[in-house]
Structure 1
Amino acid sequence: MLATVGYFALAVFGLGALSLLTDADIIAVPGLGQMPGVIGMLASVVAFAAMLWSTLRRGKPSFLAAITISLTAALAHLIGVWVAVLAGVGNAVIATAVAGDLVRGGASAVLLLAAAVAAWGGIALRRTRAERPRWRWERDDEE
């Protein structure tokens, strides 16, 4: 759960920073509104969470799974945006152009990197069997 929230936070920050640095909208087609971006991020977060959950179910998950998780999250974003634009506009050419702009403009790379960092962190937490921090007096009975 923490890794999924971390992925969403890193993705939103990264996309905002990319938009600020390039001085351009992430989806710059007039009249589309915010729904394609919202649906794309929702699809990406759900795909990230599902892939990470299936990876963490194993006894000792591999860090290499972070690559697959990040590719799946980025691809789910593209598919979600493409489907949302196609449903909104009804034109496959515009939907494909929007998806292409996401790849060319760097938004997909930002999501790929954010997913890789968050997935690696989630796998690391599972492999180390990390627990919540406790005060010293809470550990007295264990010693």
Structure 2
Amino acid sequence: MVLATVGFFALAVFGLGGVSVMTDADIIAVPGLGPGPGVTGMLAAVIGFALMLWSSLRRGHPSFLATIAIALVAGLAHLGGVWGAVLVGSGNGVIATAVAGDLVRGGASAVLVLAAAIAAWGGIALRRTRAEQPRWPWERDEEE
């Protein structure tokens, strides 16, 4: 679960950087907000992703269909986190809603949902294959 969560964060940061470079614009392009909304949104997305993945992996044989719900929750948590942080930072609900709308229209939300789907699929695949930690040859002596 930890590997999938870290993978989600890394894919999301990489993807958002790619969107920013391709569009030649900041992901949140409202002057005076600072990095707070972005950090809050990403923290909310990572927490939402981890909680949903954890709840899916608790089952004995988790379904790959859970990736859809995990990805949607991560994307919505990001939007909610950014919206709330912009609302607190600016005190204006219209600006907060405009920033959230820009995230959806600009492709940032799609990148987060895709990153979450890929990472969730990987986490579920690791669980379904019952992958274990790698061990040195001398650690296997006890099993023989």
- Normalised by the length of structure 1, the TM-score is 0.96
Taking the TM superposition and a 5 Å limit, the aligned residue runs for 1:48-87 are: 48-87=49-88
Q: Which residue of 1 aligns with 2:115?
A: 114
TM-score by structure 2 length? Answer: 0.95
The residue number in structure 2 matching 1:123 is 124
Distance 2:36 2:142 in 1: 53
CA distance in 2 between partners of 1:138 and 1:87 (Å): 53
Q: CA deviation at 1:132?
A: 1.9
2:48 is paired with a residue whose SS is: helix
Identity %: 79
Q: Could you report, residue by residue, the CA deviation over 1:17-73 in whole angstroms, capped at 9, with x for unpaired residues?
A: 110111110000111100000000000000000000000000000000000000000
Deviation sequence 1:69-113 (CA, Å, 0-9, x none): 000000000000000000010110000000000000000000000
Q: Deviation of residue 142 (structure 1)?
A: 4.0
Question: Which residue identity does 2:94 align to in structure 1?
Answer: V
RMSD over equivalenced CA pairs, Å: 1.1
Can you give the 5+ residue segments of structure 1 that lack an aligned partner in the other structure? Answer: none
- What aligned pairs does 1:31-42 form with structure 2 within 5 A after superposition? 31-42=32-43
Q: Distance in 1 between matches of 2:92 and 2:21?
A: 29
Q: How many angstroms does 1:138 deviate by?
A: 4.2
Q: Show structure 2 runs of 5+ residues with no match.
A: none
Distance in 2 between the 1:40 and 1:4 partners? 15
Question: Distance between the aligned counterparts of 2:47 and 2:143, measured in 1?
Answer: 39
- 1:12 corresponds in structure 2 to 13
